[in-house]
Structure 1
Amino acid sequence: MSLGTRVLDTALDRAVVPGYTRIGYSVRSRFWPADPPCGALEGSTVVITGANSGLGKAAIAGLAKLGATVHMVVRDPEKGAAARAEVQAVAPEAHLELETCDIADLTSVRRFAEDFLERHGSLDVLVHNAGTLPPERRETADGNEITLATHVFGPFLLTALLRPALAAAHGRVIFVTSGGMYTAGLHVDDPQYAEGGYSGTRAYARTKRMQVVLAEQWAAHLDADGVVVHSMHPGWADTPGVAASLPGFNRIMAPLLRSPDQGADTVVWLAAADEPARMTGRFWHDRRDRPTHITPWTREKPEQRAALWDLCVARTGVDP
């Protein structure tokens, strides 16, 4: 990338609205890294959570078109079956397997991981895409706040349990986060959001910040296994989740929102391109690694990072 295009790219990023919307996608796609070659994922096995709509469904189509066998992890089998049919309509040769698992439910995660490992000795790509933005505080059967369970504890446990399969393939792990994490620091003093008034958007941003930190930590833990770990944010995309959780934002920004395919582009690129395999622990948007902080007040201390890891170990019962 030339100095001029790098400056333009950074300016789009810092301005947020042009960078996160379809404007940024349109501009950057003219000079970003090349698409993975046809068949880049032929023979590969991919697991993606939150697979029945939005970014997940779009990513599945892109991954399947590159030859991957994609395991679609969903909570609702009926919605999952409908999503699989939609993907097969645009990618008739796609190899899609429907899996049922509630990522927020740790018992469900253990059950799925055990079953998957019995059937598969290796896993090339694990995409943590499942997300939620509830209007009020709710807890899971495990006693965890639902956003924290969905974005943090479930993915942590699933990564730990599938580690042998990822190591066997020298695979890749991708966390789908959000640019909203830039507004949040690492909150480990009240991770369950038990104190004060609850805000779904703040809980979302906090747990997305946690995902970015955990991706860096997992990168260090899995480096010896030959597994790379990255996080990314899709920008602002027009998905059912955004429409349901942020209707006002969706209505105002509708003309500028990215399509799900545009939002999922970097997920597919991270899973299949050569460049991301040569590094680990990076945070990406539109096929370029980005800073994880843009304001000093969000920067976490080493002891906060350690506390997050210890919290995940304590709540999931696994110590990678």
Structure 2
Amino acid sequence: MIGLVDNALDRSVIGGYSRLGFGLRARGWDADDPAVGSLANRTVAVTGGTSGIGAATAGRIAALGGHPILIGRSQDKADAVRAEIIHRHPSATVRVELCDISDLDQVRGLATRLAAAGVDIIIHNAGVMPPQRTESAQGHELSLAAHVLGPILLTELLEPTLTDSPDARVIFMSSGGMYTAELPVDDLEYRAGDYRGARAYARSKRVQTALLPILADRWQAAGVLVAGMHPGWVDTPGVADSLPGFKKVAAPLLRSADQGADTAVWLAATRPRPNTGLFWHDREPRPEHYLPRTRFSEHDRRLIWEQVRTAAALDANGAER
């Protein structure tokens, strides 16, 4: 019965993605909460860690004994988040790294620095939603670069470092909006048709989610758990800036940043280790599709991977080209 109710909440969208759904589901989580110290001595890189869900994620990692690395583009914002975390957790070790995840050259430099420091877990949370088609430093559509190319390249470059971790985990922060998007096999870079920022965001998150099983297989030999998840509807600065109309209408239903961070932190810390290659929401695996029109073949999944692999300059065997 609990499973049926949970599924009904998810299908209703409002019931599952809002703070109402979180509150109902969280009532049964006490025994499932990660134990105090469950991330002790674990270094966790959080992209987009300077505001919203990323900042909340880093704070909860510190509360569990982990060492968060805040990755963002603004030194001032990063310093402010770091100071707040240390204020709440005086013994926490919190580092800051500046990087634009959509810029693949900057990602390469970041990977070198993180490899020197050592990393156990990566939470790919950085997000963008430009109002008009914008290209990254390497000429890729910005949402694709920030949500897919940069995160995959960073993980690929850090694979040797993750191999040294006793329990490496990589978590992709997706969006429930990906359920509305088809896999853009014929137009990965969103060059055709009228560009809409929210649509570009959903498309890139669909690509990200579609690649989870491929990435899980690719990094399995390194012992890396790969998970995707979406946080529900969350009240963040990004939502306020990019979707002001939605924020105004849905404000009473929006989750807090801390609630949005919950499943990412749970995936990073929970024992026993979850199965790899799955998509999660509110601590449960979720379907890859809800709408028939978004379904795609395994052939299409492989086609999109080959395009992503080429765009990120990765060869078939794992080394950067």
**TM exceeds 0.5?**
yes
Could you tell me which amino acid in structure 2 is paired with residue 222 of structure 1?
W
User: Contact 1:216–1:230 (CA<8 Å) still a contact in 2?
Assistant: no
Taking the aligned partners of 1:240 and 1:278, their CA distance within structure 2 comes to 31
> CA shift at 1:308, angstroms?
1.7
**Stretch deviating more after TM superposition (185-194 or 83-92):** 83-92
**Stretch deviating more after TM superposition (242-251 or 89-98):** 89-98
Q: Where does 1:60-209 land on structure 2 (aligned, <5 Å)?
A: 60-120=58-118, 123-169=119-165, 170-209=167-206
Taking the aligned partners of 1:136 and 1:87, their CA distance within structure 2 comes to 35
1:260 is aligned, of 257, 262, 267, to 257
Q: Deviations over 1:19-75 (max 9, x none)?
A: 101100110001246101100000111111001000000000111111111111111
Taking the aligned partners of 1:316 and 1:256, their CA distance within structure 2 comes to 38
**Stretch deviating more after TM superposition (78-87 or 231-240):** 78-87
Matching residue of 2:235: 238
Taking the aligned partners of 1:256 and 1:119, their CA distance within structure 2 comes to 40
User: Contact 1:140–1:149 (CA<8 Å) still a contact in 2?
Assistant: yes
> CA shift at 1:5, angstroms?
1.2
Q: Deviations over 1:266-318 (max 9, x none)?
A: 0110000014x241111111111111101221111122211222112211212
Taking the aligned partners of 1:145 and 1:10, their CA distance within structure 2 comes to 34
> What's the C-alpha RMSD, in Å, of the aligned pairs?
1.1
> CA shift at 1:12, angstroms?
0.6
Q: Deviations over 1:235-257 (max 9, x none)?
A: 00100000110001001111111
Secondary structure class of the residue paired with 2:219: helix
Secondary structure class of the residue paired with 1:274: coil
Taking the aligned partners of 1:80 and 1:115, their CA distance within structure 2 comes to 17
Secondary structure class of the residue paired with 1:95: coil
User: Contact 1:172–1:228 (CA<8 Å) still a contact in 2?
Assistant: yes
TM-score (norm 1): 0.95
**Stretch deviating more after TM superposition (179-188 or 86-95):** 86-95
The alignment status of 1:299 with 2:295, answered yes or no, reads yes
User: Contact 1:184–1:209 (CA<8 Å) still a contact in 2?
Assistant: yes
Count of aligned pairs between the two proteins: 314
Secondary structure class of the residue paired with 2:178: helix
Could you tell me which amino acid in structure 1 is paired with residue 123 of structure 2?
V
The alignment status of 1:225 with 2:222, answered yes or no, reads yes
The alignment status of 1:10 with 2:7, answered yes or no, reads yes
The alignment status of 1:281 with 2:250, answered yes or no, reads no
Percent of pairs with identical residues: 48
> CA shift at 1:218, angstroms?
0.9
Taking the aligned partners of 1:159 and 1:225, their CA distance within structure 2 comes to 11
User: Contact 2:184–2:203 (CA<8 Å) still a contact in 1?
Assistant: yes
TM-score (norm 2): 0.95
- Structure 2 unpaired stretches of 5+: none
> CA shift at 1:224, angstroms?
2.2
Could you tell me which amino acid in structure 2 is paired with residue 137 of structure 1?
R
1:250 is aligned, of 247, 255, 264, to 247
Taking the aligned partners of 1:146 and 1:226, their CA distance within structure 2 comes to 30
> CA shift at 1:86, angstroms?
2.1
Alpha-carbon spacing, 1:274–1:140, altered in 2? closer, same or farther (3 Å):
same
- Structure 1 unpaired stretches of 5+: none
Matching residue of 1:48: 46
